[in-house]
Every structure is written in C-alpha cells, then in structure tokens.
C-alpha cells in the first residue's frame, strides 16, 4: 500500500523512526543499518514494507529500495519473519547478507541472533538464485573491478569454459574478495569450474 514515506524526523531511535508527513506521525520499525544512514537528518525518505496482521498494522522502513527488496526475499523464507529479518539487517549490512548468501557462508548467517544452522541453510538454498539476479547483488559485483572480471572471463572462455557458468563463478569469487590479481581469480575459478 505504501511505497515510501517522506517527511520530518520527529523521533529517531535505533529500533524505530517516527516520520511526520502531512501532520500525521508514522511509527516505522527500522534496522541499525537504516538508523545509521538516517542519524542526524532532519527530514528523510524511507521505503516502506507494510505487514497487516489480525492484531496490528506494522510498517518497516529501509533507507534504499535494494535493502527493502532483500528484506522481502528474506521474509519469503520459511522460519524468517519480519522481526528476524530486521535483526539480520541490524547485525550485518545488506551487502554482507547478499555476499554470505552468494558465497554460501553458513557460519556468518548463523552468527546472527535468532538464526540457527537449519535456517541459515534454508536462506542460502531459497535465495541463492534470487539474490544473484537482484539489482542489490549487481551493485556489489559492479563495485569490484570490472576490468579484472572481464580479463578473467576472457581467459576462461579461451580455455573452453562456457560464458554463463564462468560469469557466475567469477561474480562469486569477486564478491567474496574484490581485491585480487587476475591470476588469483582465474586459479580460483579453475578449481571450482
């Protein structure tokens, strides 16, 4: 129902923000990540995810659309509710969560309060393909050196590997560690292709 709320910051706490827009104060649950982005601002624009339950209408707010998209993916996983997903964003940045899913880092995910090994595995299984295709993950990979990626990809194709699997593997390697030499990236890719 709500796409975003833009207004004056009436109150800002690590767990919530009250945004005043057109003389209405909206109580919006936020993560520590969003709190950090909004801290010190007098006005803000917060992307909204609304949850309507029998006993409450809740608003969850995010600083960016990509963060909200990742939140929606997380709550689609069985065993993860809105509060657990917000806890995930308070423990790790959206980039760290995406990277953990793409690189299958179960230990990082289960280090979050409320996430056990089974839930961490379920998150990876359910979201690995979705996160890989989302704009949020494209931003992570785009931040890596594209020249490095293109050189490594060219080398792998010349060695006879198919383009799509090679791209996927390179993205995984560069997401985990973007500061590598071309040789190092190619060697890692050869081990797993």
How does pLDDT run across 129-179, given as a tens digit for each residue? 888 665 544 444 444 446 777 788 877 777 777 888 888 888 888 888 777
| Closest alpha carbon to 83 in 122, 30, 153, 47 | 30
What kind of architecture, by CATH, is found in domain 66-140? Orthogonal Bundle (1.10)
- What are the angstrom distances between the C-alpha of 16 and each of 8, 30, 61? 14, 5, 8
Query: Is residue 47 classed as helix, strand or coil in its secondary structure?
Result: strand
Q: In this structure, which topology does domain 144-192 adopt according to CATH?
A: Helicase, Ruva Protein; domain 3 (1.10.8)
4-62 and 144-192 share one fold: no
CA distance 97 to 91: 9
What kind of architecture, by CATH, is found in domain 4-62? Beta Barrel (2.40)
pLDDT surpassing 70 at residue 186: yes
Domain boundaries, the chain: 4-62, 66-140, 144-192
Confirm if 50 and 58 have CB atoms less than 8 A apart.
yes
């Amino acid at each position: 129902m709500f796409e975003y709320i833009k207004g004056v910051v009436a109150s800002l706490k690590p767990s919530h923000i009250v945004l005043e827009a057109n003389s209405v104060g909206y109580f919006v649950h936020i993560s520590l990540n969003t709190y950090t982005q909004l801290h010190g601002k007098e006005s803000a624009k917060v992307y909204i995810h609304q949850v309507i339950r029998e006993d409450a209408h809740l608003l969850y707010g995010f600083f960016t659309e990509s963060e909200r998209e990742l939140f929606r993916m997380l709550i689609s996983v069985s065993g993860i509710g809105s509060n657990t997903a917000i806890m995930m964003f308070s423990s790790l940045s959206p980039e760290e969560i995406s990277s953990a899913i793409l690189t299958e880092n179960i230990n990082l995910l289960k280090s979050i309060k409320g996430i056990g090994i089974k839930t961490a595995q379920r998150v990876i299984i359910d979201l690995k393909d979705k996160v890989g295709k989302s704009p949020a993950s494209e931003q992570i990979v785009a931040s890596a050196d594209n020249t490095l990626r293109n050189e490594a990809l060219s080398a792998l194709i010349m060695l006879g590997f198919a383009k799509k699997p090679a791209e996927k593997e390179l993205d995984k390697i560069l997401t985990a560690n973007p500061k590598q030499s071309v040789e190092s990236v190619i060697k890692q890719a050869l081990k797993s292709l």
